[in-house]
Amino acid sequence: MKAWIENDKIRDICHGNPVELYHPDVAVFYDTDVPANAENGDGWVDGKLVKPELPAPVDPPAATTTYPKVSPIRFMMLFTSTERIFIRAAVATDPVIADWWSIVNDPRLTEVDMGLASVQGALDYLTSESLLAEGRKDQILTGVVA
């Protein structure tokens, strides 16, 4: 096989006799013998074939979790009766829980977006205050009824 080499790269390969396939003005560029495994775009440095390095594999993007949006009553029903009772009792002594509870019980609230950082943070806080057992946050966020 003959190749047209330009700037230390194989510009084109001729699979036959260039004189028979191209106009003489073009055939003159096909002046280098290359091995059968040569491909257009390969390097040709000091008379040797140089295959380009393959790009490093790209890791697929991390899977993202899609959290549901639920009605306020559905949200409250995701907690056990015992959890709701302990949370209501904590409203009187913990301003963070009191603030969260007032938002959840606001009559203007139409849905609870489980993907919001504030919702997830509130569930983390309830867990840190031992009002939710470990693992309950994930159950609540996915909409699993206790």
Quote the domain boundaries for residue 92: 69-141
**Residue 129 shares a structural domain with residue 79:** yes
Residues 103 and 85: their CA atoms lie apart, in Å, by 17
The whole-chain average pLDDT of the chain stands at: 93
Specify if 61 maps to a domain: no
**Residue 41 shares a structural domain with residue 73:** no
Specify if 63 maps to a domain: no
Report pTM. 0.57
**Residue 76 shares a structural domain with residue 46:** no
Averaged pLDDT, 52-57: 88
**Which residues, at least 6 apart from 97, have a Cβ–Cβ distance to it below 8 Å?**
87, 90, 91, 125, 126, 129, 131
- pLDDT the model gives residue 90: 97
- pLDDT the model gives residue 146: 57
Q: How many domains does the chain have?
A: 2
Q: Look up residue 23 and give its DSSP letter.
A: -
**Residue 82 shares a structural domain with residue 43:** no
Residue 17 pLDDT grade (very low, low, confident, very high; cuts 50, 70, 90): very high
Residue pLDDT, tens place only, 102-123: 999 999 999 999 999 999 999 9
